[in-house]
Amino acid sequence: MSGENPAALVDALRRRSRFAAPQPTGKRIEITDSDFAIFEALHRHGPLPTHYLFRFSRRRSFNTFQHRLTKLYNGTSAASYLVRPPQQFASFHARYQHIVYDLSDAAEALLRERGKLSPLVTRTDPFLHRLMSACVGASIELACSNLQYIPRAEVLARKSNRMELPLSSRAARGRLVPDDLFGLKWENTVRFFAVEIDRNTESIARRKPGSITFREKLLCYMDVIRNHVYHEQWGIRNLSVLTVTTNDAHARNLEKCLQTLDPTLAHRFYFKTVPGLGPNWRVPPILTGLLEGLTATAGGG
Q: Are residues 164 and 255 in the same domain?
A: yes
CA-to-CA separations, 56 to 74, 102, 109, 145, 224, in angstroms, rounded: 21, 14, 20, 13, 34
Residue 287 within a domain: no
Residue 19 main-chain phi, psi, to 5 deg: -90, -5
The percentage of residues in the chain with a pLDDT greater than 90, rounded to a whole number, is 66
**pLDDT, average across residues 3-13:** 52
Number of H helices, E strands in the chain: 9, 10
The pLDDT score that the predictor gives to residue 199 is 81
**pLDDT, average across residues 16-20:** 78
Q: Are residues 184 and 148 in the same domain?
A: yes
The pLDDT score that the predictor gives to residue 234 is 95
Q: Provide the number of structural domains found in the chain.
A: 2
pTM of this structure: 0.90
CA distance 263 to 150: 29
The pLDDT score that the predictor gives to residue 204 is 65
Range of the domain at 104: 1-117
Predicted confidence (pLDDT) per residue in 37-58, tens digit: 999 999 999 999 999 999 999 9
The percentage of residues in the chain with a pLDDT greater than 70, rounded to a whole number, is 88
Q: Are residues 97 and 192 in the same domain?
A: no
Single out the residue of 147, 227, 228, 214 nearest to residue 179, CA to CA.
214
Q: Which of 96, 117, 138 is the last residue before a domain boundary?
A: 117
Q: Are residues 75 and 138 in the same domain?
A: no
**pLDDT, average across residues 283-288:** 94
Predicted confidence (pLDDT) per residue in 104-118, tens digit: 999 999 999 999 999
**pLDDT, average across residues 222-243:** 95
Please, are residues 156 and 162 in contact by the beta-carbon 8 Å criterion?
Answer: yes
Q: Are residues 199 and 112 in the same domain?
A: no
The long-range contacts involving 281-285, CB below 8 angstroms and separated by at least 24 positions, are 281/91, 281/128, 282/91, 282/92, 282/93, 282/97, 283/49, 283/88, 283/91, 283/93, 283/97, 283/98, 283/100, 283/131, 284/49, 284/135, 285/51
Question: What is the band of 8 on the pLDDT scale with cuts at 50, 70, 90?
Answer: low
User: Which residue would you say has higher pLDDT here, 239 or 162?
Assistant: 239
Q: Are residues 75 and 165 in the same domain?
A: no
Q: Are residues 132 and 170 in the same domain?
A: yes
Predicted confidence (pLDDT) per residue in 57-99, tens digit: 999 999 999 999 999 999 998 899 999 999 999 888 888 999 9
Q: Are residues 43 and 22 in the same domain?
A: yes
Q: Are residues 55 and 165 in the same domain?
A: no
